């Protein structure tokens, strides 16, 4: 369920509230962005919602969730275009349970190449077994059904 309160102290909630020494690259009323502490690429940022949402499995086909993920993607794309314009390839996506390292929704924004090269393994889709889902595929999955005009 979106907006749930984390039963244990959530490091990403603390970052979103600016309660840590983490340098924020972007902040607004919906999301914050910062450097991944264990980068897997030339540039590796995380974009997280201020609201505690545990995983992609907690998102639903509703306008609010679609709008949030779309905003997260836009922020990540803007940051990487600004900070790594020379990169020839970018990846944007989410780890899915059981592969997520922190139970707080977070978008990985990667300006490739992977560093070291083997880190690409963390960002493979494993289909029904979880793995990594591209942000665009997640948006397709949670796109709200539009009402048909009468």
Domain map (residue ranges) of the chain:
11-142
Mean pLDDT of the chain: 90
Report pLDDT for 125: 80
| The two three-digit tokens of residue 9, written as one number | 């102290």
Q: Please write the tens of the pLDDT for every residue from 5-39.
A: 445 679 999 999 988 999 999 999 999 999 999 99
The phi-psi region of residue 147 (left if phi > 0; otherwise alpha if psi is between -120 and 50; otherwise beta) is beta
User: Hey, which residues does 91 pair with through a beta bridge?
Assistant: 110
The answer to whether 115 touches 42, Cβ cutoff 8 Å, is yes
Closest to 98 measured CA to CA, from 43, 39, 54: 54
Against a cut of 0.85, is the pTM above it? Answer: yes
Task: Examine the residue annotation and report whether 26 is marked as an active-site residue of this protein.
Answer: no
CATH 3.30.428.10 is held by the domain 11-142: yes
Point out the catalytic residue in the list 52, 95, 108, 120: 108
The residue ranking higher by pLDDT, 145 or 109, is 109
Alpha carbons 149 and 37: distance in angstroms, whole number: 48
The average pLDDT across 89-102 equals: 90
User: 147 pLDDT band (50/70/90 cuts)?
Assistant: low
The answer to whether 33 touches 76, Cβ cutoff 8 Å, is yes
Report pLDDT for 126: 73
């Amino acid at each position: 369920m979106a907006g749930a309160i984390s039963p244990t102290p959530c490091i990403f909630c603390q970052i979103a509230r600016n309660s840590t020494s983490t340098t924020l690259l972007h902040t607004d009323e919906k999301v914050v962005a910062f450097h991944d502490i264990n980068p897997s690429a030339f540039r590796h940022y995380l974009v997280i919602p201020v609201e505690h949402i545990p995983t992609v499995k907690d998102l639903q086909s509703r306008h609010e969730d679609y709008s949030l993920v779309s905003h997260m993607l836009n922020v990540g794309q803007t940051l990487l275009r600004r900070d790594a314009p020379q990169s020839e390839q970018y990846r944007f996506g989410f780890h899915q349970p059981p592969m997520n390292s922190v139970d707080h929704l977070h978008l990985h924004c990667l300006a490739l190449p992977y560093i070291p090269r083997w880190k690409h393994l963390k960002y493979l889709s494993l289909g029904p077994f979880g793995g990594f889902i591209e942000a665009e595929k997640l948006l397709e999955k949670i796109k709200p059904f539009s009402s048909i005009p009468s």
